[in-house]
């Protein structure tokens, strides 16, 4: 099927988000480890790997649609003033992701790209779970 240009745009924006999230969680994990928060460091590293898996799924969809993944520029990781700020920063990150995926999935539905829509809805649900987890943290 011929790929819808805006679906490709949404998938690319989503990939940029995932690379941003991967960098943020990995950087926070390093900072947590360096400041002696070993358990938090492990949790953040696990989060980073989940975002990496999301990036991989988006890359697969882009490649299926005939496009080479290009995440573009990734903004700096948000570290705040240290580990106490991480829950707030990460809730913001995940909230952004949920809105992005819902809007992207709505577009995929409008152009009847069912496979992209299914992927985007699944990722929206997983980001909502991430948001919920950070909401219980502080």
Rg (CA), the chain: 16
At closest approach, how far in Å is the CB of 9 from Fe ion? Answer: 18
Residue 26 near Fe ion by CB under 5 A: no
C-alpha–C-alpha distance, residues 130 and 87, integer Å: 11
Residue 117 near Fe ion by CB under 5 A: no
At closest approach, how far in Å is the CB of 97 from Fe ion? Answer: 5
Nearest-5° Cα angle at 96, 32 to 46? 35
Q: Looking at beta carbons only, is 32 or 112 nearer to Fe ion?
A: 32
Tell me which residue of 26, 29, 15, 43 sits closest to 133, measured CA to CA: 43
Pick from 20, 61, 127, 134 the residue near Fe ion by CB under 5 A: 127
Residue 130 near Fe ion by CB under 5 A: yes
Size of the chain in residues: 138
Residue ranges in contact with Fe ion by CB under 5 A: 18, 51, 54, 127, 130
């Amino acid at each position: 099927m011929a790929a819808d240009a805006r679906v490709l745009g949404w998938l690319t924006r989503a990939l940029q988000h995932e690379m941003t999230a991967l960098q943020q969680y990995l950087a926070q994990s390093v900072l947590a480890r360096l400041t002696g928060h070993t358990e938090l460091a492990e949790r953040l590293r696990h989060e980073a790997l989940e975002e990496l898996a999301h990036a991989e799924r988006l890359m697969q969809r882009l490649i299926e649609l005939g496009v080479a993944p290009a995440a573009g520029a990734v903004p700096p990781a948000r570290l705040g003033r240290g580990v106490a700020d991480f829950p707030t920063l990460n809730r913001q990150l995940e909230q952004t992701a949920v809105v992005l995926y819902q809007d992207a999935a709505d577009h995929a539905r409008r152009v009847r790209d069912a496979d992209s829509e299914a992927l985007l809805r699944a990722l929206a649900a997983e980001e909502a779970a991430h948001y919920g987890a950070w909401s219980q943290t502080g």
